[in-house]
């Protein structure tokens, strides 16, 4: 089964409900053409933010792709991971000090509560607590530097995985629209 079919069906139906069939078909075609063209560009921009160390811009911009979490478990999982790591790193970089790392840990501790070991802990929860457990162990500037470097690398690797899932999603969607070029009208 094509994983992109629910996406196609949802957006086609939404355009058909708004206007007459001819106009709806044109809007649908324009939407998918734009999606094919602009989504890879959006991914490239996000990667460039990470490569340039602009985690705050990455954090703000990744929200543009949130609507895709509904259509794939992998897009959902990695989008939330990217959003969480980039948000936490962005906050940490705004007060890049050992004291700032302790404040950030306290912020998340108050938000999520104490760590409870679960037998079948959800993948995302496990990643969150690994991050927070390591954040708690920062006592020197060197620890902080190593932590930021490590999680920037993890963020970049996770973005590569997310990108591969999104490009596979686009490939599946293109199979449903072989006549759309991906060049906006």
Q: Quick check: 18 pLDDT over 70? A: no
Q: Quick check: 185 pLDDT over 60? A: no
Q: What is the pTM of this model?
A: 0.88
C-alpha closest to that of 50 among 182, 159, 125: 159
Confidence of residue 120 (pLDDT cuts 50, 70, 90): low
Confidence of residue 113 (pLDDT cuts 50, 70, 90): confident
Q: Quick check: 58 pLDDT over 60? A: yes
pLDDT the model gives residue 109: 85
Return the half-sphere exposure (C-beta side, CA atoms, 13 A cut-off) of residue 54.
11
- Cα torsion 100, 104, 109, 115: sign: negative
C-alpha closest to that of 155 among 108, 100, 56, 89: 89
For 129-163, the pLDDT digits (tens) are: 889 889 999 999 999 999 999 999 999 999 999 99
């Amino acid at each position: 089964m094509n994983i992109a079919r629910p996406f196609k069906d949802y957006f086609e139906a939404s355009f058909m409900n708004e206007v007459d069939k001819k106009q709806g078909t044109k809007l649908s075609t324009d939407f998918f053409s734009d999606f094919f063209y602009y989504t890879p560009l959006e991914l490239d921009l996000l990667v460039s933010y990470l490569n340039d160390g602009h985690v705050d811009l990455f954090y703000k911009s990744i929200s543009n792709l949130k609507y895709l979490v509904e259509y794939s478990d992998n897009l959902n999982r990695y989008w939330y991971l990217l959003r969480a790591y980039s948000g936490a790193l962005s906050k940490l970089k705004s007060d890049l000090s050992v004291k700032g790392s302790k404040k950030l840990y306290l912020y998340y501790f108050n938000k999520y509560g104490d760590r409870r070991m679960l037998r079948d802990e959800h993948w995302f929860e496990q990643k969150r607590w690994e991050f927070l457990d390591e954040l708690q162990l920062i006592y020197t500037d060197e620890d902080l530097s190593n932590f930021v470097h490590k999680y920037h690398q993890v963020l970049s690797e996770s973005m590569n995985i997310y990108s591969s899932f999104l490009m596979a999603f686009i490939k599946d969607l293109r199979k449903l629209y072989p006549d759309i070029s991906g060049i906006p009208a």
